[in-house]
Amino acid sequence: MFDYVNFSKNINFYRQKLGYSQEVFAEKVGIGYKYLGSIERGVARPSVLTIIKILNAFHLTLGECLGEYSNNKAILKNIEIQEILCYVKSLNLNENQKKSLLNVVNIINESRS
């Protein structure tokens, strides 16, 4: 059976750690912020489609999301990197500009380790 309680706690944890408000994250996922709040409180049980949307927004697998917080630093780092990569891809840059920007991101990422 699906662990809604752990899923809810982890969604709230990752959203807050990444600095998203419920409104911003809900918009990113494509659901209402009140619905997201009820999911985070464990009141609402999201559909499989909504769970997939939430996982995709965080760039997480279901296993990562349902795991304990023991690997949360690595997971948060992965989420942040994926967010940056998505942003870079969305920019109207030529390939050389993208490579230069990604090199800077890699340097910053390595210095954080």
> Using one digit for the tens of pLDDT, what is the confidence trace for 53-86?
999 888 888 887 777 654 566 677 777 777 777 7
pTM: predicted TM-score of the whole model, two decimal places = 0.68
What span, in angstroms and rounded, lies between the C-alpha atoms of 18 and 25? 10
**Least confident range of 38-42, 101-105, 106-110:** 106-110
Contacts of 99 (CB under 8 A, 6+ apart): none
Identify the DSSP state of 93.
-
CATH number for domain 4-112, candidates 1.10.357.10, 1.10.260.40, 3.40.1410.10, 3.60.110.10: 1.10.260.40
